Structure 1
Amino acid sequence: MLKRILLAIFTAAVLACQATPKPQKLVEGIPNIKPDEKQSLVCRQVVALIENYSYKRLSVNDSISSLVLDKYIKALDPYRNYFLASDIKDFEQFRTTLDDAFRTGDLSAPFYIFNVYSKRYNETLNYAIAHIKDKYDFNQQDTYFFDRANMPWITSVAALNDVWKKKVKYELVNLRLAGTDEAKAAVSLTKRYQNLKLQSSKLNNQDVFQVIMDAFTGAIDPHTNYFNPANASEFNEQMSRSIEGIGAYLQSENDVLKIAEVTPGGPAFKSKLLHAGDRIIGVAQETGDFEDIIGWRLDNAVAKIKGPKGTKVRLKIIPVGHDMSSKPVIVEIIREKIVMEDQSAKKEVKTIQSNGKPYKIGIITVPAFYADAKAAIAGDPNYKSTTRDVRLLIDTLKGKDKVDAIVMDLRSNGGGSLMEAIDLTGLFIDKGPVVQVKDVKGEVEVNGDEHPGALWSGPFGVLVDRTTASASEIFAGAIQDYGRGIIIGTQTFGKGTVQQPIDLNKLVNPSILQRLASFVQKGKPGSGKTVKGENDIPQLGQINLTIAKFYRVNGSSTQHKGVMPDITLPSFYPMDKVGEDTESSALPWDEVQKSDFVAVADLSAMKAELVKLHDARMEKSLDYKTLIQDLADMKKRSLETSVTLNENKLKAERDSLEVKALEKINRLRASRGLAPVKKGDKIKKAENFDFQEDETLKVMADYIQLKAVV
């Protein structure tokens, strides 16, 4: 029903907006990037969706227009290193008109702004390159402001050039302090700036449109997002934790596509024909000619290599160690479905001594709440999902590993599938409600685990940090509300909103897409070119639209406030810069009625004892005191906006910091019985110390002992 309503709205909107697009205002001296009809259509669709179906149900008006303009300019030039004050004054003409323009699909204004930016960007880089070999006085007492975000816009080209000359000097000072001689430093910096120009020249209208739509949707709320077709594909791959391709990580190096890593178990690995360091200079499908991809953008080249499982791709390779003038090797690979294991749930068992007794703790790290919905719908019995993976890990921890407790590490877990959060909670409770969802009409739906029995009923902890968000907060909040475990870490992010992914192609009448295809293929309608199939139909991308809010079973929203830990650890992330409560367009916190659930236990008395034991440890902990000082130093440095350009003074400052850092490391190593290290020594992976994890293990050991006493 919803799809039919949306289809009717957008068909009417598209048919009503077939007027000739407004002529693009051009910027002299550069190749202007221009919007296309497809982007105009998408813009109209997004406006209609926001005004009719967004949780906020707001009107895209002059106020929104003003916010979009500010966000867009900030996205392009956050540190005010490119635009002039006169440019900003010129852009004021669009302050209250972007809303009307977006409603009709007129993108001429934001593209004009981008083209001005592009001109300034290239002008400043050209100036910088031209002045790299100037004679600089590195004993001069001058200063470079690297962060101009809160400073006035620069008023003249001469003043802008002065900023960039100081930037060049600063980067030359850095190279000199790193031991690079004058000639090599000039060559290195020239290549750096030339590469920036090269990458800028590869930007297309899809890149520009993505920045525009980010500014637009960001003015609505932080989590309503538009994804262009390439980004939509990447987003959905991340959610499924799988891709279809050859199984290799690629990177661009000197305009050539290079294999950075071959995925173990993937088709490239099994073929033994591709290796890290090989360069790919041409791509062809099973039939057809090779396309030379030297100089291509990384994403465009990758799109040619990826493809449906079972299909063949042919690659023209210059093997690692061979000169680029060598005769290329032709390699054929059958694409397969690749599971991204490094981004899936994994386990580790650690033993900790407490009061003279060893305790085995199983740590399950969950990077996201993922589910391969496509494979599940297709009936694949081995489809990938967080809950399925964790279930297998818990079986091993209970059986083979015989752990005394389990910790779920949700640090840096930004969320994902709500159903996975519900199902995962079900592994730790008998059954019952897990989350409440309030929709745009104000109606509240309760979703829960309907499968009786818990897979793990022993001591349980959840480790969270400031970047733990969305579905992760639903899981942590449910565990806390049920009294099922201890939450350890920092206040979480506070993302308590629900997004619905919408494929924009499914909202447009196919006949309109056919007409649009003729625009794309010939530049005008009625060209006579036949649109043959789905591959000829323009892809419009996807919008993730905020349509509802999350609430815990205790009635409290996770929005804005997140989940407060039972045992609080210092935050590595600045609380005033990371989190929902730092976003001006974020929805507020509120409450709904408490749902009908039965807590597993009342842990309030045990939590009080755990806090006392934790606080006592922190009083004596060198790691804790060092971390608190480090965080204070980081906060102080984050407020700095300038740096000296006097080489001797800068070297002295950095040497002092290095000495202090080495002294700190060796103090901590001595406290752990480890040998000291010298400057330049590499610390073994096994010797890296995770304070948050270490204290979590100690809390869990306390938990096990207190539970035994009870």
Structure 2
Amino acid sequence: MRKICLICLFSCISFMFLCGQNKKLAISGLRVSNENRNLNYKRARNVMAVISQLLLYYHYRGNKIDDEVSEKAFNKFIKILDFNKNIFLKEDIEKLSKFEQEIDTEFKNGFSRLSKVSLNIKQTRNLEVQAIYKKLLSVPLDLKKEITLISDFDLLEFPVDNLERVKRWQNLLHQFFISTYVGMLVEKENKLIKKESTDKDQKKATEKKINYLALKIKPLDKELEKKAREKILKGLNMRFKRIADGGELDHFNLYINAVCSIFGPHTAYHMPTEKEDIDIDLTGQLEGIGAQLQEDGDTLKVVKIIPGSASSRQKELKEDDLIIKVAQGNGEPVDLTGMGIREAVRLIRGKKGTEVRLTVKKPSGLIKVIPIIRDVVILENSYARSMVVEDKQSGKKIGYLLLPGFYWKKENSDLGRSSSEDIKRELLALKKQNVDGIVFDLRNNGGGSLSDVVNMVGHFIPKGPVVQVRSPSNRKKPRNILSDLVGGVIYAGPLVVMINKVSASASEIFAAAIQDYGRGVILGSGRSSFGKGTVQTFFGLQRGTNEKDVNIGALRITIQKFYRINGQTTQFNGVVPDVVMPTQYMELETGEKYKDNALKSDIYLPTSYEKYAPSGSFEVVIKSSQARVDKSEYFSNVLGYAKFLKQRRGMKKTKVSYNQQLEDLDLLQKKAEELKKISKEKRTLIVTPIVSQKGNEAVKESLKETFKKMEIGLKEDLYFHEAINLIDEISNKLLKK
């Protein structure tokens, strides 16, 4: 069985939206899909058979699907179907529980009765629930009503009957209503503040804040009340329509992934279109028209035209256009009204050189058909960027290097670029500017290509091991040491690597190697990085079936763990930075250790390697930096705010009322203002972008905008300012000895 792509590392962080307007963004590109939402049983049988074999023989754990896995998968599947426990009744769960230990048998036989029976129940209950919320939202809701909701759904049982389910929906809709109504009221108040301002006092008006507590005595705005109910109704209708449109196929995929998730948070089945989306993330390129889209009610709005793309060159599609229909060349147009953004984007995406015809509604009301020939779309913001930052305070010239992800160039394809090659180019450009040190920003970098991170570490060390990769003990070669064998340092000066709680996988390999070699200082926003120390690969499922010519999706599977060269693992624990800087969200449960079924942390054999600098070389500057952070009034307040958020998040029950919502907003505003007052002072920095990559004029103009935003951000970024302080101390205290 052959793998369909290179080994890759990345972090998967999932977000759940219960209701309301979820503004999703998507880039139109790649393959058109006319996927039928009905389940092909023969194909489903093949998928189940191949997945069970792959999990047994290739997954790091090497477990088979047995009764224990069945029980866990059943509970996970029910949680996926009805997380809030407000759709199914207790009798439904009792009916389904007979399948609790039969999932292993179902995979063996290649047919899931659990998936089929649960779908029938879900479809019936969804129709009942739609009738419930539509009736409840058809009459005015009580703004002054106070309720207490259980925040931890694990403490709830499923409703015993419809009467109890109706009560749950009454409470849930009240929560939605309070949140939506207050949001609309705040928006209205903000517009009034803006309207009342004159040109003279515009600045004063901008700084004016809403008095949330004063809104308590404001009488009910009947028009807003009605609009709030309509908005909630629209959101719920769209949600349930998409569930219905997903049909048997989507339901089956949920079932399969419930089973896969028991093997770990990064093992999952991906339909063909989902796999394409992952490829886009890893390469930073796609094939399509180059328009960024956003849901706007029942239609899709163009929010950005990607510079240099097919849409940009064609010049007719503009921001704020609404896309109504899509046709493939001279084919029949497909109406997009009410279609989800993912389904719509599948129609708009397509291979380079093919034509798509978009029927759009202009802001003026004009309806127009726009033909566009698809082409390669380059997402410049996915790629490495660098700037020279002159700091007036220290007199130092700093090279700032930003890497959003460890992207890669696909084999035998025009798509993609190598992140290690791009970083090499940026380093050479910064060296020409005679910078005193480099700050390498890996904050929010979720990982990517394993080979690229190994090569990238090689730019900073003479040569040597970078990371250990461990396979299950039954493999011929369970231990593999990946090294930089090229030799030669691209950049040898002072180095600070910035990470945060979302820096994961390949980012952690890089930071850990730099730390273990003593090559630089790791500056962390938070106590540790994400903690993902596993390796995944993709297997094309059709290769294990008799459907060789049909793309039936791929299995992303955890095949290895990686270890630092000192034998420690980043799995669970992440990389603990040399200097810890508090963040507002550092106390919240984010990271691998909080994910279900994640592999545990352990210790492996250390490798032989020569330190770049003697142990303890950075001890003086690290202590000095940490002392500055600990004494900072701003970071003390940030830590206090983080504890405040943790306390709020940890509450098992939530009080929901109009007054409580306003009091919460008032408290959050005051806390934010306290932080803002302390952090108001900007550092005097002169920032010069480095444009080392060639591109057309449209791309260059877009990059100017990007660099301008980066410049503004760096001037206000107190975490980056501490990185400058570190570079200053390293060059003054260490290099001049």
Same topology, TM > 0.5: yes
The 1:293/1:660 distance shift into structure 2, 3 A limit, reads closer
The 1:260/1:140 distance shift into structure 2, 3 A limit, reads closer
Cα separation, 1, equivalents of 2:531 and 2:176: 39
Amino acid in structure 2 at the alignment position of 1:150: L
Matches within 5 A, 1:607-618: 608-618=619-629
Q: What does the per-residue CA deviation read over 1:261-289, in whole Å, with 9 as the maximum and x for residues that have no partner? A: 11111010111111112223333333444
Aligned to 2:377: 338
Q: In the alignment, is residue 697 of structure 1 matched against residue 730 of structure 2? A: no
For residue 93 of structure 1, report the CA deviation from its aligned partner. 0.8
Task: Give the alignment partner of residue 267 of structure 1, picking from 282, 286, 310.
Answer: 310
Q: In the alignment, is residue 560 of structure 1 matched against residue 575 of structure 2? A: no
Q: What does the per-residue CA deviation read over 1:115-170, in whole Å, with 9 as the maximum and x for residues that have no partner? A: 43343344233312211244554444433445533223322211121121122223
Amino acid in structure 2 at the alignment position of 1:125: Q
Of stretches 102-111 and 262-271 in structure 1, the one that deviates more from structure 2 is 102-111
The 1:306/1:149 distance shift into structure 2, 3 A limit, reads same
Q: State whether residues 79 and 147 of structure 1, in contact with CA within 8 Å, keep that contact through their aligned partners in structure 2.
A: no
Q: In the alignment, is residue 123 of structure 1 matched against residue 128 of structure 2? A: yes
Amino acid in structure 1 at the alignment position of 2:320: G
Q: In the alignment, is residue 708 of structure 1 matched against residue 728 of structure 2? A: no
Q: What does the per-residue CA deviation read over 1:487-519, in whole Å, with 9 as the maximum and x for residues that have no partner? A: 11132222222212111122323xx45xxxxxx
Q: What does the per-residue CA deviation read over 1:318-342, in whole Å, with 9 as the maximum and x for residues that have no partner? A: 22321xxx5x423222211111111
Q: In the alignment, is residue 669 of structure 1 matched against residue 680 of structure 2? A: yes
Q: What does the per-residue CA deviation read over 1:336-370, in whole Å, with 9 as the maximum and x for residues that have no partner? A: 1111111222223333355xx32222222212111
Paired-residue identity, %: 29
Q: In the alignment, is residue 45 of structure 1 matched against residue 50 of structure 2? A: yes
Amino acid in structure 2 at the alignment position of 1:103: K
Cα separation, 2, equivalents of 1:70 and 1:298: 30
Aligned to 2:389: 350
Q: In the alignment, is residue 621 of structure 1 matched against residue 632 of structure 2? A: yes
For residue 565 of structure 1, report the CA deviation from its aligned partner. 1.4
SS at match of 1:208: helix
For residue 395 of structure 1, report the CA deviation from its aligned partner. 2.0
Cα separation, 1, equivalents of 2:113 and 2:329: 41
Aligned to 2:153: 148
Aligned to 1:452: 487
The 1:37/1:296 distance shift into structure 2, 3 A limit, reads farther
Aligned to 1:543: 555
The 1:346/1:81 distance shift into structure 2, 3 A limit, reads farther
| TM-score after normalising by structure 1 | 0.83
For residue 474 of structure 1, report the CA deviation from its aligned partner. 1.4
Q: In the alignment, is residue 587 of structure 1 matched against residue 599 of structure 2? A: yes
Cα separation, 1, equivalents of 2:234 and 2:605: 61
Q: What does the per-residue CA deviation read over 1:642-692, in whole Å, with 9 as the maximum and x for residues that have no partner? A: 44344334434433443443344234427989xxxxxxxxxx965984343
SS at match of 1:149: helix
Q: What does the per-residue CA deviation read over 1:521-550, in whole Å, with 9 as the maximum and x for residues that have no partner? A: xxxxxxxxxxxxxxxx53211112222221
Q: State whether residues 39 and 249 of structure 2, in contact with CA within 8 Å, keep that contact through their aligned partners in structure 1.
A: no
Aligned to 2:198: none
Contiguous gaps of at least 5 residues in structure 2 = 4-36, 186-220, 685-710
Task: Give the alignment partner of residue 205 of structure 1, picking from 248, 251, 257.
Answer: 248
Aligned to 2:699: none
Aligned to 1:637: 648
Q: In the alignment, is residue 159 of structure 1 matched against residue 164 of structure 2? A: yes
Of stretches 463-472 and 168-177 in structure 1, the one that deviates more from structure 2 is 168-177
Aligned to 2:427: 394
Matches within 5 A, 1:105-120: 105-120=110-125
For residue 709 of structure 1, report the CA deviation from its aligned partner. 3.4
For residue 47 of structure 1, report the CA deviation from its aligned partner. 0.2
Amino acid in structure 1 at the alignment position of 2:351: P
| TM-score after normalising by structure 2 | 0.80
Q: State whether residues 714 and 720 of structure 2, in contact with CA within 8 Å, keep that contact through their aligned partners in structure 1.
A: no
Cα separation, 2, equivalents of 1:423 and 1:705: 30
Aligned to 2:536: 499
Cα separation, 2, equivalents of 1:551 and 1:227: 27
SS at match of 2:246: coil
Q: In the alignment, is residue 433 of structure 1 matched against residue 465 of structure 2? A: yes
SS at match of 1:236: helix
The 1:436/1:189 distance shift into structure 2, 3 A limit, reads closer
Task: Give the alignment partner of residue 507 of structure 2, picking from 472, 479, 488.
Answer: 472
Cα separation, 1, equivalents of 2:233 and 2:589: 34
Q: State whether residues 140 and 226 of structure 2, in contact with CA within 8 Å, keep that contact through their aligned partners in structure 1.
A: no
Q: State whether residues 682 and 716 of structure 2, in contact with CA within 8 Å, keep that contact through their aligned partners in structure 1.
A: no
Kindly report structure 1 stretches of 4+ aligned residues shifted beyond 6 Å.
670-673
The 1:696/1:671 distance shift into structure 2, 3 A limit, reads closer
The 1:353/1:687 distance shift into structure 2, 3 A limit, reads closer
Aligned to 1:414: 446
SS at match of 1:559: coil
For residue 50 of structure 1, report the CA deviation from its aligned partner. 0.8
The 1:364/1:111 distance shift into structure 2, 3 A limit, reads farther
Q: State whether residues 276 and 320 of structure 1, in contact with CA within 8 Å, keep that contact through their aligned partners in structure 2.
A: no
Aligned to 2:234: 191
Q: State whether residues 222 and 586 of structure 1, in contact with CA within 8 Å, keep that contact through their aligned partners in structure 2.
A: yes
Aligned to 2:590: 578
Q: State whether residues 65 and 95 of structure 1, in contact with CA within 8 Å, keep that contact through their aligned partners in structure 2.
A: yes
Matches within 5 A, 1:41-120: 41-120=46-125
Cα separation, 2, equivalents of 1:450 and 1:228: 38
The 1:619/1:578 distance shift into structure 2, 3 A limit, reads closer
For residue 629 of structure 1, report the CA deviation from its aligned partner. 0.6
SS at match of 2:448: coil
Aligned to 1:529: none
The 1:290/1:47 distance shift into structure 2, 3 A limit, reads same
Q: State whether residues 397 and 403 of structure 1, in contact with CA within 8 Å, keep that contact through their aligned partners in structure 2.
A: yes
Task: Give the alignment partner of residue 261 of structure 2, picking from 218, 221, 227.
Answer: 218
The 1:688/1:168 distance shift into structure 2, 3 A limit, reads farther
Q: What does the per-residue CA deviation read over 1:226-284, in whole Å, with 9 as the maximum and x for residues that have no partner? A: 11111011111211110001111123333333322111110101111111122233333
Amino acid in structure 2 at the alignment position of 1:706: K
Q: What does the per-residue CA deviation read over 1:174-215, in whole Å, with 9 as the maximum and x for residues that have no partner? A: 344342533333333333333333333322333223322221
Amino acid in structure 2 at the alignment position of 1:592: Y
Q: State whether residues 35 and 107 of structure 1, in contact with CA within 8 Å, keep that contact through their aligned partners in structure 2.
A: no
Contiguous gaps of at least 5 residues in structure 1 = 5-31, 514-536, 674-683
For residue 478 of structure 1, report the CA deviation from its aligned partner. 1.2
Q: State whether residues 443 and 503 of structure 2, in contact with CA within 8 Å, keep that contact through their aligned partners in structure 1.
A: yes
Q: State whether residues 313 and 333 of structure 1, in contact with CA within 8 Å, keep that contact through their aligned partners in structure 2.
A: yes
Cα separation, 2, equivalents of 1:416 and 1:476: 14
Aligned to 1:424: 456
The 1:350/1:87 distance shift into structure 2, 3 A limit, reads farther
Cα separation, 2, equivalents of 1:687 and 1:622: 20
The 1:477/1:672 distance shift into structure 2, 3 A limit, reads closer
The 1:143/1:538 distance shift into structure 2, 3 A limit, reads same
Aligned to 1:12: none
| Cα RMSD, aligned residues only | 2.7
Cα separation, 1, equivalents of 2:587 and 2:533: 17
